[in-house]
Structure formats: C-alpha cells, structure tokens
Copies of this chain bind each other. A is one copy, B any other.
Amino acid sequence: MDKPFLANLRKIDPYVPGEQPQSADFIKLNANENPYPPAPGVRQVLRTFDTDSLALYPDSTGRRLQNALAERFGIKPTQVFLGNGSDDVLALSFQSFFCSDKPILYPDITYSFYPVWCELFRIPHEAVPLDEDFCVNIRGYDRPNGGVVLPNPNAPTGRGVSIDVLEDLLQHNADCVVIIDEAYVDFGAQSALPLLDQYENLLIVQTMSKSRSLAGLRIGYALGSETLINTLEAVKNAYNSYTLDTLAIAVGEAAVRDEAYFRETCRRIVATRERTADALRELGFVVHPSLTNFLFVMHTKKDASVIFDFLRQKNIYIRYFKLPRIDNYLRVTIGTDEQMDRMIAVLKEFL
C-alpha cells in the first residue's frame, strides 16, 4: 500500500531504552538514582494533599517551589525557572538561547542528550575534546561560538572544574549564553551560583532527580538573570504553559525545605563513594576522581564488557557505554554501603 503521509513524518533514530531489570532481587546501579528515599515531608504532602484541587490547573509559575528555591539560593524568585525534569529545562534552554549560526560547544565525552537536542532543533554544534585524563580543557572554548554547555561535574566522567575555571570560561564567552549543567553538583563540586550576579549570560541548570531523591517526579530548574529566565518563560509558555503539575510543585517544595535531610543523604553518598573507590582500586581498577554520585572506572586487565556481563548475570546492573574513547569504561552509581559491599564481593569472586 502506498502511504504518502509517511513523507511528512519526522525522521529520527529510535531511542533504545535503558535496561529495566525483571528479577525481584537485583541491585540497580545503572541510572544514577539516589538509594535513599525523598525527605520525610514528601510522604506528608501526599498523605494530606487536597485531591479536589487537582481539578484546577496548576499555578503555571509554580510560585511556592520558585520561592523555596530562591530562598535557598539567596536569589530572587524571578531568577528561578521550573521545568519537567532538567531534560525539559535544558531542551527549552537550547531552543531559547542557541539561535546563532555559529556552532555551540560542549565536551566530546558528556551527556548524550546535547547532540540529540542540537539535531532536533537544528542547532550547529561541535564537541571540544577532553584531555587524556578526561579533564576539561577550558582553552578549547576560546573561539567564536553560538553558546557553551558545560556539565560540572561532567558525566559520565565524574570530574569537575573549580569556580575559577568557570569564571575564566565566562570571561572568554561574553557574547553567548553559557549553560552550566549542575545535575550532580551536590555531591562535592563547586556551583557557579556565586557568579550569577556578575554574568547575565550564565544559566545554571539543576535537578531534583539525584540529590533530592525525586527522579520519579520530574523536577528540574534553571537559575539565571531575569533576562534569561524571562526568555525561558516566554518559550515555555509558547510550548506548554502548565509544565509542572500541582503535586510536583508541592512535593518539590517539601524536599527543598528540608536542608538537614538533604545534607545528610549527600554526605552519606559521598562517604560510600570514597569507600567504594578505594575498594575498586584495590581490585585493580583505575578509578577517576569523582564529584558525583557515580564512579567512572576501567579495569587494567579485564574488558569492561566482560565485567558488565558478569555483574548482570549476578543481578547487579551498572552502565556500559560502547562509545569512542570510553569503550573500556564502566559507570557505577553509588548505592547504599550494603549494595556496594555486595558488588565488591561479587567482583572479588570474579577477578
């Protein structure tokens, strides 16, 4: 049968979803999820929530969550933009700020969505190689461009740069918007937050999916000058005015308001990460210094794919990227101490 309507359909490579373990007894260390539950206030929000209010549209600016974040970061509510996960915030930012004919720049080893959004929105783009040790070479960004996206710390390498390096980047890129993707910043890296006052072209993007244990709720946000935030709001409102739902706004607020719980869970993950890094080094792994809730590792004698398959057989799921430069590396999310001890024990047995 002839199907002429097919000619007008968007051609796009189908996405291969991450593995969802089917077994009941498995350890999931493949999506950088937090092993600890969300702040106790989250349960309270759901237990007492006025369900009748769900018949009404959400507050489209999410004012309560916006205020809570503004207070926490010491900025104005008008400097906070909310979205349906940081993927949504980043995708809208690409559409909002990268309207130049010059290519945008980002590291060659980084979050896999950046080039996908560039293709989707027809944004010219170029990858700047990380150095041998997977460190960011900041001088690679000293050239004409239509924008810069730098995750700090970077994923999946786990390495971060200091705030001095970020300021250097901003000083050399005043003519474009510079996005610092801080998805993992709460596990030990330096935020670009103190630079917000001076750099009107700086956008910081964070998420509640990692350090706030709320991956299931899809809450991301951007912090920036009113100029950038107003543009994001305008583009969002042209796309879908009510992005963040009423429950997400209420739950997000409860999570942000519990600073003590947040600090304690982050501290625990950092402690577990360092213990795990030491144990892996003892087993012959090269472990890159990580400022995130995962480790990026390579074994000196065994292939990454072999280790990955072995762990999977044992119901331990980690991440293996079959990509140039990192095809012998594995990314291991930091779980609880118990989960990591189990993984180390299984690896010991194997190696």
Chain A residues in contact with chain B, CB under 8 A?
3-10, 12-15, 17, 20, 28, 31, 33-38, 42-43, 46-47, 49, 51-61, 84-85, 87-88, 91, 95-100, 116-117, 119-120, 146-147, 174-177, 200-201, 209, 213-218, 227-228, 230-231, 233-235, 237-248, 251
Contacts and interface: CB of A to CB of B under 8 A. Distances in A.
A216 B245 contact: yes
B9 A99 contact: yes
A12 B56 contact: no
Given A4-B175, A37-B51, A201-B5, A215 B247 contact: no
B99 A10 contact: yes
A99 B12 CA distance: 12
A170 to B, nearest CB: 11
B5 A239 contact: no
Copies of this chain held together in the complex: 2
13 contacts: A8-B97, A12-B231, A13-B234, A15-B238, A35-B55, A37-B51, A37-B55, A43-B51, A54-B214, A85-B242, A87-B241, A216-B247, A218-B244
A55 B84 contact: no
A55 B31 contact: no
Given A3-B200, A33-B57, A117-B238, 8 more contacts: A6-B227, A15-B241, A17-B60, A37-B51, A46-B47, A57-B209, A87-B239, A218-B243
Given A49-B46, A176-B5, A97 B38 contact: no
B54 A10 contact: no
A33 to B, nearest CB: 5
Contact of A8 (B38, B87, B116, B176): B176
